Amino acid sequence: MRRLIPLPRAAAAAVACAALLMTTAAGCAGFDAALGKQWAVVHFRPSTPVATLLKVRTACSHVPNVRPEALPPGRKGLDMIYSVRFRTDNASDANLAQLQQCLQRFPSVQGIAFEDSGEG
Protein backbone atom coordinates (compact mmCIF):
# COMPACT_ATOMS: atom_id res chain seq x y z
CA MET A 1 0.00 0.00 0.00
CA ARG A 2 1.31 3.41 -0.99
CA ARG A 3 1.36 6.16 1.50
CA LEU A 4 1.10 9.81 0.47
CA ILE A 5 3.60 12.08 2.10
CA PRO A 6 2.13 15.52 2.71
CA LEU A 7 4.10 18.44 1.34
CA PRO A 8 5.22 21.03 3.83
CA ARG A 9 3.05 24.13 3.61
CA ALA A 10 5.90 26.28 2.31
CA ALA A 11 6.56 23.86 -0.57
CA ALA A 12 2.85 23.70 -1.43
CA ALA A 13 2.67 27.50 -1.41
CA ALA A 14 5.74 27.71 -3.66
CA VAL A 15 4.20 25.29 -6.17
CA ALA A 16 0.94 27.28 -6.18
CA CYS A 17 2.81 30.56 -6.68
CA ALA A 18 4.85 29.10 -9.53
CA ALA A 19 1.70 27.87 -11.26
CA LEU A 20 0.07 31.28 -10.84
CA LEU A 21 3.17 33.06 -12.13
CA MET A 22 3.33 30.82 -15.22
CA THR A 23 -0.36 31.44 -15.96
CA THR A 24 0.09 35.19 -15.55
CA ALA A 25 3.18 35.24 -17.76
CA ALA A 26 1.36 33.33 -20.49
CA GLY A 27 -1.53 35.78 -20.31
CA CYS A 28 0.83 38.75 -20.51
CA ALA A 29 2.56 37.28 -23.55
CA GLY A 30 -0.77 37.02 -25.36
CA PHE A 31 -1.69 40.56 -24.32
CA ASP A 32 1.70 41.88 -25.49
CA ALA A 33 1.31 40.07 -28.81
CA ALA A 34 -2.07 41.72 -29.35
CA LEU A 35 -0.64 45.12 -28.47
CA GLY A 36 2.29 44.61 -30.84
CA LYS A 37 0.10 44.64 -33.95
CA GLN A 38 0.83 47.56 -36.24
CA TRP A 39 -0.38 48.53 -39.68
CA ALA A 40 -0.50 51.30 -42.25
CA VAL A 41 -3.87 52.34 -43.67
CA VAL A 42 -3.70 53.95 -47.10
CA HIS A 43 -6.17 56.79 -47.70
CA PHE A 44 -7.26 57.34 -51.30
CA ARG A 45 -9.14 60.15 -53.03
CA PRO A 46 -12.90 59.40 -53.00
CA SER A 47 -13.16 58.91 -56.77
CA THR A 48 -10.30 56.38 -56.97
CA PRO A 49 -11.30 53.29 -58.99
CA VAL A 50 -10.88 49.89 -57.34
CA ALA A 51 -8.43 48.89 -60.09
CA THR A 52 -6.12 51.73 -59.01
CA LEU A 53 -6.33 50.71 -55.35
CA LEU A 54 -5.33 47.18 -56.31
CA LYS A 55 -2.49 48.48 -58.49
CA VAL A 56 -1.10 50.56 -55.60
CA ARG A 57 -1.44 47.62 -53.21
CA THR A 58 0.46 45.33 -55.57
CA ALA A 59 3.12 47.91 -56.44
CA CYS A 60 4.03 48.53 -52.79
CA SER A 61 3.87 44.90 -51.61
CA HIS A 62 7.62 44.42 -52.20
CA VAL A 63 8.75 46.44 -49.15
CA PRO A 64 10.60 44.17 -46.67
CA ASN A 65 8.77 43.40 -43.38
CA VAL A 66 5.57 44.95 -44.74
CA ARG A 67 2.77 42.74 -46.03
CA PRO A 68 -0.62 43.65 -47.41
CA GLU A 69 -3.66 42.57 -45.42
CA ALA A 70 -6.43 40.57 -47.05
CA LEU A 71 -9.00 42.63 -48.90
CA PRO A 72 -12.65 42.60 -47.86
CA PRO A 73 -15.06 40.58 -49.99
CA GLY A 74 -17.06 42.44 -52.60
CA ARG A 75 -14.47 45.05 -53.55
CA LYS A 76 -16.87 47.87 -54.39
CA GLY A 77 -16.01 51.57 -54.71
CA LEU A 78 -16.45 53.46 -51.44
CA ASP A 79 -16.10 50.29 -49.36
CA MET A 80 -12.55 49.93 -50.65
CA ILE A 81 -11.24 53.48 -50.04
CA TYR A 82 -9.80 52.57 -46.61
CA SER A 83 -9.34 48.85 -47.29
CA VAL A 84 -5.74 48.92 -48.48
CA ARG A 85 -3.79 48.15 -45.33
CA PHE A 86 -0.29 46.83 -44.74
CA ARG A 87 0.83 44.94 -41.62
CA THR A 88 3.97 46.56 -40.27
CA ASP A 89 4.53 44.60 -37.03
CA ASN A 90 8.19 43.85 -37.82
CA ALA A 91 8.94 46.83 -40.05
CA SER A 92 11.86 49.10 -39.24
CA ASP A 93 11.75 52.87 -39.67
CA ALA A 94 13.58 52.36 -42.98
CA ASN A 95 10.90 49.87 -44.12
CA LEU A 96 8.15 52.35 -43.23
CA ALA A 97 9.96 55.08 -45.14
CA GLN A 98 10.20 52.76 -48.18
CA LEU A 99 6.47 52.08 -47.98
CA GLN A 100 5.72 55.78 -47.72
CA GLN A 101 7.96 56.56 -50.72
CA CYS A 102 6.27 53.86 -52.78
CA LEU A 103 2.78 55.08 -51.92
CA GLN A 104 3.64 58.72 -52.63
CA ARG A 105 4.34 57.84 -56.27
CA PHE A 106 0.59 57.51 -56.83
CA PRO A 107 -1.48 60.71 -57.15
CA SER A 108 -4.61 58.85 -55.97
CA VAL A 109 -3.06 58.29 -52.50
CA GLN A 110 -4.17 61.08 -50.15
CA GLY A 111 -2.25 59.90 -47.12
CA ILE A 112 -1.11 57.08 -44.87
CA ALA A 113 -2.09 56.48 -41.26
CA PHE A 114 0.30 54.39 -39.19
CA GLU A 115 -1.66 52.74 -36.38
CA ASP A 116 -1.24 50.11 -33.69
CA SER A 117 -3.59 48.08 -31.55
CA GLY A 118 -2.90 50.35 -28.58
CA GLU A 119 -4.73 53.22 -30.27
CA GLY A 120 -8.44 53.56 -30.36
pLDDT in tens, 19-55: 555 655 555 444 444 457 899 999 999 888 889 999 9
Give domain status of residue 6, yes or no.
Answer: no
Domains identified in the chain, total number:
1
State the CATH number of the domain containing residue 64: 3.30.70.920
Contacting residues for 103 by C-beta, under 8 A, at least 6 apart:
42, 56, 60, 109, 112
The mean of the pLDDT values for the chain is 77
- What percent of the chain lies above the pLDDT cut of 70? 62
Summarize the confidence of residues 68-73 as an average pLDDT.
85
Beta bridge partners, 38, equal 116
Give domain status of residue 23, yes or no.
Answer: no
Give domain status of residue 8, yes or no.
Answer: no
**Helix %, strand %, coil % of the chain (to 5):** 45, 15, 40
Residue-level pLDDT at 30: 45
Give domain status of residue 94, yes or no.
Answer: yes
Q: Does residue 27 or residue 63 have the better pLDDT?
A: 63
Give domain status of residue 32, yes or no.
Answer: no
Range of the domain at 100: 37-116
Give domain status of residue 100, yes or no.
Answer: yes
